[in-house]
Amino acid sequence: MPDEIFLREHSALLAQSFERATGQRLPVDALTLYGAPFAVVSHGMQADPVFNYANLFAQQLFGYAWEEFIALPSRLSARAPERDERARLLELVTRQGYIEDYAGIRVRRNGTLFRISRATVWNVVDTGGVLHGQAAMFSDIEELQ
Protein backbone atom coordinates (compact mmCIF):
# COMPACT_ATOMS: atom_id res chain seq x y z
CA MET A 1 0.00 0.00 0.00
CA PRO A 2 1.35 3.42 -0.87
CA ASP A 3 2.40 5.94 1.76
CA GLU A 4 -0.58 8.18 2.61
CA ILE A 5 1.33 11.46 2.16
CA PHE A 6 2.78 10.37 -1.19
CA LEU A 7 -0.63 9.15 -2.31
CA ARG A 8 -2.30 12.45 -1.45
CA GLU A 9 0.40 14.64 -3.05
CA HIS A 10 0.92 12.53 -6.17
CA SER A 11 -2.81 12.10 -6.78
CA ALA A 12 -3.23 15.88 -6.65
CA LEU A 13 -0.28 16.33 -9.05
CA LEU A 14 -1.75 13.79 -11.47
CA ALA A 15 -5.21 15.37 -11.36
CA GLN A 16 -3.94 18.94 -11.71
CA SER A 17 -1.58 18.15 -14.57
CA PHE A 18 -4.29 16.13 -16.32
CA GLU A 19 -6.72 19.04 -16.11
CA ARG A 20 -4.13 21.56 -17.35
CA ALA A 21 -3.20 19.30 -20.29
CA THR A 22 -6.67 18.13 -21.33
CA GLY A 23 -9.21 20.49 -19.79
CA GLN A 24 -10.86 17.43 -18.23
CA ARG A 25 -10.95 16.31 -14.62
CA LEU A 26 -9.74 13.32 -12.66
CA PRO A 27 -10.77 12.74 -9.06
CA VAL A 28 -8.55 14.95 -6.88
CA ASP A 29 -9.22 12.93 -3.74
CA ALA A 30 -6.40 10.41 -3.33
CA LEU A 31 -8.58 7.52 -2.17
CA THR A 32 -11.12 8.10 -4.93
CA LEU A 33 -8.41 8.05 -7.60
CA TYR A 34 -6.70 5.03 -6.02
CA GLY A 35 -9.99 3.10 -6.06
CA ALA A 36 -11.29 4.41 -9.40
CA PRO A 37 -12.90 1.97 -11.88
CA PHE A 38 -10.23 2.74 -14.49
CA ALA A 39 -6.44 2.43 -14.63
CA VAL A 40 -4.13 5.32 -13.77
CA VAL A 41 -0.36 4.78 -13.87
CA SER A 42 2.62 7.11 -13.91
CA HIS A 43 6.37 6.88 -14.21
CA GLY A 44 9.19 9.20 -13.27
CA MET A 45 11.98 10.89 -15.19
CA GLN A 46 14.76 8.30 -14.90
CA ALA A 47 16.79 7.36 -17.99
CA ASP A 48 14.82 4.09 -17.90
CA PRO A 49 11.59 5.37 -16.29
CA VAL A 50 10.18 3.37 -13.38
CA PHE A 51 6.53 3.36 -12.41
CA ASN A 52 5.89 5.53 -9.35
CA TYR A 53 2.11 5.18 -9.19
CA ALA A 54 -0.52 2.60 -10.08
CA ASN A 55 -4.03 2.73 -8.73
CA LEU A 56 -5.72 -0.45 -7.54
CA PHE A 57 -7.42 -1.08 -10.90
CA ALA A 58 -4.02 -0.96 -12.66
CA GLN A 59 -2.37 -3.17 -10.04
CA GLN A 60 -5.06 -5.83 -10.47
CA LEU A 61 -5.02 -5.53 -14.26
CA PHE A 62 -1.24 -5.92 -14.57
CA GLY A 63 -0.98 -8.45 -11.72
CA TYR A 64 1.51 -6.58 -9.53
CA ALA A 65 1.22 -5.54 -5.90
CA TRP A 66 2.06 -1.90 -5.13
CA GLU A 67 5.64 -2.65 -4.03
CA GLU A 68 6.34 -4.63 -7.20
CA PHE A 69 4.67 -2.11 -9.51
CA ILE A 70 6.64 0.91 -8.27
CA ALA A 71 9.91 -0.99 -8.80
CA LEU A 72 9.04 -1.93 -12.40
CA PRO A 73 10.62 -0.10 -15.34
CA SER A 74 7.59 1.11 -17.29
CA ARG A 75 8.94 -0.26 -20.58
CA LEU A 76 8.31 -3.75 -19.17
CA SER A 77 4.56 -3.12 -19.32
CA ALA A 78 4.91 -3.86 -23.05
CA ARG A 79 6.54 -6.84 -24.75
CA ALA A 80 9.78 -6.23 -26.62
CA PRO A 81 8.06 -6.01 -30.05
CA GLU A 82 5.76 -3.22 -28.80
CA ARG A 83 8.41 -1.21 -26.94
CA ASP A 84 9.54 0.86 -29.94
CA GLU A 85 5.97 2.00 -30.59
CA ARG A 86 5.56 2.78 -26.89
CA ALA A 87 8.77 4.84 -26.91
CA ARG A 88 7.52 6.82 -29.95
CA LEU A 89 4.25 7.49 -28.13
CA LEU A 90 6.04 8.82 -25.05
CA GLU A 91 8.26 11.07 -27.16
CA LEU A 92 5.16 12.47 -28.87
CA VAL A 93 3.57 13.11 -25.46
CA THR A 94 6.74 14.88 -24.33
CA ARG A 95 6.48 17.25 -27.30
CA GLN A 96 2.68 17.76 -27.35
CA GLY A 97 1.84 17.59 -23.65
CA TYR A 98 -0.71 14.81 -24.04
CA ILE A 99 -2.45 12.51 -26.49
CA GLU A 100 -5.89 10.98 -26.50
CA ASP A 101 -7.11 7.79 -28.07
CA TYR A 102 -3.88 5.80 -27.68
CA ALA A 103 -4.09 2.04 -28.22
CA GLY A 104 -1.44 -0.57 -27.57
CA ILE A 105 -0.74 -4.10 -26.35
CA ARG A 106 0.39 -4.58 -22.77
CA VAL A 107 1.65 -7.57 -20.84
CA ARG A 108 0.74 -8.77 -17.35
CA ARG A 109 3.14 -10.12 -14.80
CA ASN A 110 2.04 -13.66 -15.75
CA GLY A 111 2.75 -13.00 -19.45
CA THR A 112 -0.83 -12.76 -20.70
CA LEU A 113 -1.58 -9.94 -23.10
CA PHE A 114 -4.31 -7.33 -23.34
CA ARG A 115 -4.97 -4.35 -25.57
CA ILE A 116 -5.73 -0.92 -24.16
CA SER A 117 -7.74 1.51 -26.24
CA ARG A 118 -8.83 5.14 -25.94
CA ALA A 119 -6.07 5.83 -23.41
CA THR A 120 -5.04 9.36 -22.50
CA VAL A 121 -1.33 9.84 -21.86
CA TRP A 122 -0.03 13.13 -20.49
CA ASN A 123 3.01 14.86 -19.07
CA VAL A 124 2.94 15.18 -15.29
CA VAL A 125 3.89 18.82 -14.80
CA ASP A 126 3.58 20.81 -11.58
CA THR A 127 2.28 24.38 -11.31
CA GLY A 128 5.85 25.69 -11.66
CA GLY A 129 6.24 23.97 -15.03
CA VAL A 130 8.57 21.23 -13.76
CA LEU A 131 8.15 17.91 -15.59
CA HIS A 132 7.87 14.99 -13.13
CA GLY A 133 7.16 12.21 -15.63
CA GLN A 134 4.24 10.90 -17.62
CA ALA A 135 0.95 9.24 -16.79
CA ALA A 136 -1.75 7.25 -18.52
CA MET A 137 -5.42 6.65 -17.88
CA PHE A 138 -7.54 3.99 -19.58
CA SER A 139 -10.44 1.64 -19.04
CA ASP A 140 -11.03 0.05 -22.45
CA ILE A 141 -9.37 -3.35 -22.25
CA GLU A 142 -9.55 -6.30 -24.62
CA GLU A 143 -8.13 -9.65 -23.56
CA LEU A 144 -5.80 -11.22 -26.14
CA GLN A 145 -4.98 -14.89 -26.61
Enumerate domains of the chain plus CATH numbers: 4-143 (3.30.450.20)
Q: What is the mean pLDDT of residues 40-63?
A: 97
Classify residue 85 as exposed, middle or buried by CB count within 10 Å of its CB (0-12, 13-18, 19+). Answer: middle
**Mean pLDDT across the chain:** 94
Residue 82 pLDDT class (50, 70, 90 cuts) = confident
Specify whether the CB–CB gap between 54 and 71 falls below 8 A: no
pTM: 0.94
| Least confident range of 77-91, 100-114, 117-131 | 77-91
